[in-house]
Chains A and B, each alone.
Chain A
Amino acid sequence: MEWLVATAVAAMTSAGIYLTLSARTFTVVIGLTLLTYATNLFLFTTGRLTINQPDIISDPLAPHADPIPQALVLTAIVISFGVTALILAMAVRGYFESDGDHVDLLGPEETVARGRK
């Protein structure tokens, strides 16, 4: 299971970084979303990977799942969801300002003229 989770985090992080470095706001937003997914999954694993364990501690010696990373992930999900919505709104505004989704707000002609994809 460690292998599965680790590769999932690695794949999402690398895809996220690649997309974030692109020149279109749409792909940048997708990249940021992937990056936050990877982060959330990583945070979740810091409580160690356990299956079928209670996260309410009744007996400190009995095996249990660590509830704190779950609470942290929940907070992180809420915040990243809100901020993603915000950057989408700003990207849409940028689209109306420039008639294109280039991160430097270049219009379609300018993008072609400067040879930027």
Chain B
Amino acid sequence: MNHWLILPILIPATVAPLLALAVRNDIVLARIFSVGSTVLLAVIGMLQLGMAADGTTRTYALGNWPAPFGIVLVLDRLSAIMLVLTAVLGLLVLLYAINGCDRRGEHFHPLFQFQLMGLNGAFLTGDLFNLFVFFEVLLIASYGLMVHGGGAARIRAGIQYVVVNLVGSSIFLLSLGLIYGVTGTLNMADLAVKVPEVLPGDSALLYCGAALLLVVFGIKSALVPLQFWLPGTYANTSGPVAALFSIMTKVGAYAIIRVYTLAFGESAEDGAWFASGGLMAAAAATLAVGMIGVVAARSLSQQASFAALASMGTLMIAIAGFTPSTESAALYYLVHSTLAIAALFLLIDAVVIRRAGFGDALTTAPPFASLGLIGGLFFVTVIAVLGLPPLSGFVGKLLVLDATVGLSGWPLIWGLILVTTLLGLIGFASSGSRLFWKSGSLPGRLEPVSAVPLALPMVAVGSLLALLILLTGFSGPVTAYFDATAEQLFDSQQYVEAVLGESRGEQ
């Protein structure tokens, strides 16, 4: 048995209670432990990415109970990509946060580690109920992080965020109940075997459950019409937390890719790819609403929230294609948009703490400290977010456009993606010129809200942008890995055999 697989869950699960109990009063030690744990996660993630590159699906039976009776962790290429992305994003966000954001409230670091634990668990598990449990772990940690620092606006958005997700959890349980009631299993591989065997009389119940599951993942990934929680949450929380949350919506995207290619894909016969049509419509609406929001936003963080929504729309358009080439494009866009949106939110936080009295309102105001540097970084980040050349957003959108050719209504998809990109460009050009260009020529000077160190935050943002440049420069090898990942995803037989053993897989 390969004990490497449990480490991404075990390390944060050990460090978080330690941070909450043993070093709760020593912020320096807490930072050391927190950064150390995240570095370790990044290293392990890289090793696992290398391990998964050989194309075998590794499994880890918890408590050595054989699947489908026990819970299994499964590591394949897709899980490994998500683990590395989580750890790298977590590390850079943490580097930004240890400059003072973590002291605005209590228990930032334990919550951060629990969040990483929940994310890693969700990416590794091969059991639907276990996926629910890890969703709850990451959500409960995110409730705490979301209201970190306090304030009336944040509490108001926090209460609404918790209520939406609690309703989502109830729907998740209902859908699991329906699926278990019909198939008698919640193990994803076993489900892939059982779905084609379901009696015709029961299949309505099964697909009812599967559609409810899609609603739950739609809430997590903020698909229209389930997106209402996202702008309020992202715009009202602190910058580093919003940056970390850019991976939270991707958990929903990951779950959709995993469940609907494995259990409700080609092997499901009558119900094959039933999620595709509805998902495509919702994704297109999400993209449109997001970019219209970017034009209409009244503050920079609101604008970034809607940009995050729009990026989910583009990502879901690619996912909803459900062909190997669209899934590969989706993975590239997923990695790109997570890093780009995170950089955007970190930069906004850097602006907010420097503009006393104005915050992130889109109005001209006297210049603030290091306006030129932040303005320049903002320019580069927005180019990446919108998908203009030469950064990875352009490559990502090109891959998505190329992969959607041949899907039904693809000219419409092309038109939508291109027009919304123009809308986004108008929105960000107007806010950028107001905040940086016009403000730069005004007399006077704004004082920062508090003492602001420049070095580490800019290292964090710069590293995110450097990763985007690397993603552009090495897009050849990266897309080769993603192509192999998509191929592995569509070979569900191989996943089933890895989890359940050769004999069960052949049934």
Give the interface of A toward B (CB within 8 A): 20, 25, 28, 32, 35-36, 38-40, 42-43, 45-46, 68-69, 72, 75-76, 79-80, 82-83, 86-87, 90-91, 93-94, 97-98, 103-105
Contacts and interface: CB of A to CB of B under 8 A. Distances in A.
B358 interface: no
B140 interface: yes
A86 B178 CA distance: 28
Which secondary structure dominates where chain A touches chain B? helix
Contacts of A83: 136, 140, 162, 166, 169
Given A79-B136, A87-B163, A94-B156, A46 B169 contact: no
Contact of B152 (A40, A80, A97): A97
Contacts of A28: 163
Interface string B110-140: 0000000000000000000100010010001
A97 to B, nearest CB: 4
Contact of B177 (A42, A87, A103, A105): A42
Given A39-B174, A105-B152, A69 B163 contact: no
B129 A90 contact: no
6 contacts: A20-B167, A46-B177, A69-B180, A72-B176, A75-B129, A86-B140
Contact of A103 (B143, B160, B176, B181): B160
B156 to A, nearest CB: 4
A96 to B, nearest CB: 9
B163 A32 contact: yes
Interface of B: 129, 133, 136, 140, 143, 147, 150, 152, 155-156, 158-160, 162-163, 166-167, 169-170, 173-174, 176-178, 180-181
B487 to A, nearest CB: 34
A35 B181 CA distance: 20
B159 A91 contact: yes
Contact of B155 (A40, A46, A97): A97
A55 to B, nearest CB: 15
B162 A104 contact: no
Nearest to B147: A90
Interface centre among A25, A43, A46 (most CB of B within 10 A): A46
B176 A43 contact: yes
Contacts of B177: 39, 42-43, 45-46, 69, 72
Nearest to B162: A87
A35 to B, nearest CB: 5
Given A69-B180, A76-B173, A83-B166, A103 B159 contact: yes
Nearest to A36: B170
A32 B167 contact: yes
Contacts of A42: 173-174, 177
B159 A94 contact: yes
Q: Which 8 interchain pairs have the tightest Cβ spacing? A: A46-B181, A97-B152, A46-B177, A105-B156, A43-B177, A39-B170, A39-B173, A87-B162
A46 B162 CA distance: 27
Given A46-B180, A72-B176, A86 B162 contact: yes
Given A83-B162, A87-B162, 17 more contacts: A32-B163, A32-B170, A35-B167, A36-B166, A39-B173, A42-B177, A43-B173, A43-B174, A45-B181, A72-B129, A72-B173, A75-B129, A79-B136, A86-B140, A87-B166, A97-B156, A105-B156
B174 A32 contact: no
A49 B423 CA distance: 56
A17 to B, nearest CB: 9
